[in-house]
Amino acid sequence: MPSTTSPQQAASPRPAAPARRTTSPHRAAFAAATVSALLLAGCASSGNAAPGTDGAAATGEPQSGGTLRFGLGYDPTCLDPQQAGGNDSLNVGRQLVDSLTDQDPETGEIVPWIATSWEVSPDATTFTFTLRDDATFADGTPVDAAAVQANLDGIAELGAQSTLGSSYLDGYVQTVVVDPQTARVEFSQPSAQFLQATSTMTLGLFSVASTTLSVEDRCAGEFVGSGPFTLTDWQPARSASLERREGYAWPSSIAGHEGEAYLDGIEYSVVSEPSVRTGSLQSGQLDAFMNVLPTDEEPLKASGQTVSARTNPGISFSLVPNTDRPVGGDEEVRLAISAAINRQEVVDTVLTPSYKPATSPLSSSNPGYTDLGDLLAFDLDAATERLDAEGWEPGDDGIRTKDGQRLQADVVYLTNFAASEQILQLVQQQLVKAGIDLQLRQVTMAEYPEVQKVGDYDFSWNSLTRADGDVLRTIYGSSGRNVARLAEDDPVNTPLDAQAAEGDDAARLALLADAQTQLLERGLSIPVMEFTTVIATAPTVHDLKFEASSRLSFYDTWIEAP
């Protein structure tokens, strides 16, 4: 992450980029590589708009008015983006809050939003933000340095209650109000990932009064944000209603227009059954929905709907071993499992061209991604040779045994991605050919934290969205969630911890590449496929955009009048 310096700038409806940035020769190459990865990942063909939804040229200028009816596949459960970690929750919360910065989904660059400029100390322990002076929360109070202080202090106090924010604020000390439009954020240790974190809805801003509410009230949407929409009603497990905020005039610097949102409002409905979501769009009862099943993509296109997809940055969907258990703790078995998985067959059989086989622990749309596809090549012969060498002998039913123990392991998984069960069933069939018995164990969202905490799994089916390489430390590092249950002195912790403290772009990318390589070479990560957000929209819906984390922004969205 580069040091960024600029003088304070006057706020404007569309804040300018910071006046001067310290840029290394590596940054240009990094940006080019990131753009290439994003395009390969299925990024939007026009800016960050979902492909096929940017129809202004064909149908005229954007129109104000109308309410978008949007289908959610899962109950948001908590509307507070500072607490929530699920995509359905965050896709609602994004419309209600603004962030200090934004992240360009095409280049990965951090750009102005509420902050017009910023300075980062050379050791990445101090971040000083200059704020625009015209933004207000929906209760009329200013979005100022005191609000930044109250929000970051509050998220830090939430601790693990903030599913994502707890890792974003590792080492947080305080926020100092230098003056009403200047906030200085201080860390006890270098935090190279923090600037990107300020672009997320997880560190989105609430009014000062909202930061003192109970976590229950905030989950129920009682908080006040400064975003382009406000919440007017929430029926848990059923629906949420948003309306356009009058007078909104401080969009991100990469937004497509200025002023208020085009839509009068958004009506979210929880429609858990995929076939009902599909039928509701085709019949005109919904205007758009997410969580499109792979099997529904072609029927939707055939009926005239638009299907759009973008690879989520972050952790590829992976089997993460519990190294405290016999199978997960055996490196040769882990590597045999990885070699026995035919990732292309998974995509071709269960998924669609919207998805890609994994080529790294990180997805290809993630800044910091390194292509390590050669380490993930399907090689059944190599898998069986490893197991033979370790004394695992095929039994009468084809499953290997050693010292009287079957080569059997379980994998716990959630259903927040509907195709997970089918993917794991195919992986299960592939592993049987190598003599490995993989048992599938579905757990609920409520059960999973305790399962992970006590280590009640041989493998965990895991993915996490974030457009920054520090997501590797969050999942695998001993200082993070440590899903693989590694010892503190495990060698992979060295690059994982070092990259979090590295302020130089080139050096940080090298550390991330080292971590990715170690994870694959030791079978500590067994990536299978890249998670992709797939949405379907009616032909009357335009400019429904993917932001950098492949979640959705409705600020520029508009609907054609009948």
Band of pLDDT at residue 163, cut at 50, 70 and 90: confident
Count the Cβ atoms, other than its own, within 10 Å of residue 497: 18
Q: Copy the structure tokens of residue 346.
A: 């998974």
HSE at residue 348, side-chain half, CA atoms within 13 A, is 4
pLDDT tier, 67 (very low <50, low <70, confident <90, very high otherwise): very high
State which H helix or E strand residue 408 sits in.
strand 408-413
d(CA 67, CA 130): 35
Taking alpha carbons only, the member of 301, 316, 292, 551 closest to residue 418 is 292
Q: Of the ranges 175-184, 214-223, 352-361, 448-457, which one carries the lowest mean pLDDT score?
A: 448-457
Q: Domain 4-15+61-306+533-559 has what CATH class?
A: alpha beta
Q: Residue range 219-242: average pLDDT?
A: 96
**What pLDDT, on the 0 to 100 scale, is given for residue 49?**
54
Q: Determine the distance from the C-alpha atom of residue 345 to the mean position of all C-alpha atoms in its chain, rounded to a whole number.
A: 25
Taking residues 222-250, report their average pLDDT.
97
35: pLDDT confidence band, cut at 50, 70 and 90? Answer: very low
Q: Which residue has the higher pLDDT, 293 or 13?
A: 293
Q: Which residue intervals of 375-533 are DSSP H helices?
A: 380-389, 420-432, 448-454, 471-476, 493-500, 505-521
Nearest to 470 by CA among 489, 506, 498, 507: 498
User: In the prediction, which pLDDT does 356 show?
Assistant: 97
Separation CA 359–CA 246 (nearest Å): 46
| Closest alpha carbon to 268 in 208, 335, 221, 328 | 221
Assess whether pLDDT exceeds 60 at residue 474: yes
Q: What is the mean pLDDT of the chain?
A: 90
Q: What is the pLDDT of residue 45?
A: 33
The answer on pLDDT for 37 being more than 80 is no
Check pLDDT > 80 for residue 241. Answer: yes
Give this prediction's pTM: 0.86
Higher pLDDT pick, 21 / 266: 266
Return the C-alpha torsion angle 86, 89, 90, 95, nearest 10: 170
Looking at residue 449, its pLDDT comes to: 86
Confidence of residue 40 (pLDDT cuts 50, 70, 90): very low
On the question of pLDDT at 51 being above 50, the answer is no
Mean pLDDT of the region 131-137: 98
Q: What is the DSSP string of 317-360?
A: EEEEE-TTSTTTT-HHHHHHHHHH--HHHHHHHHS-TTSEE-SS
Residue 50 banded pLDDT, cuts 50, 70, 90: low
129/49: higher pLDDT: 129
Q: Tell me the CATH number for domain 314-530.
A: 3.10.105.10
CA dihedral 163, 166, 167, 170 (to 10 degrees): 180
Nearest-5° Cα angle at 312, 92 to 117:
70
Whole-number pLDDT of residue 544: 97
What value does the mean pLDDT take over residues 320-330? 97
Whether 191 has a pLDDT exceeding 70, the answer reads yes
* DSSP tally for the chain: helices H, then strands E: 17, 28
Q: What is the pLDDT of residue 33?
A: 36
| Alpha-carbon span 35 to 111, nearest angstrom | 16
What secondary structure letter does DSSP report for 379?
Answer: -
- Domain residue limits, the chain: 4-15+61-306+533-559, 314-530
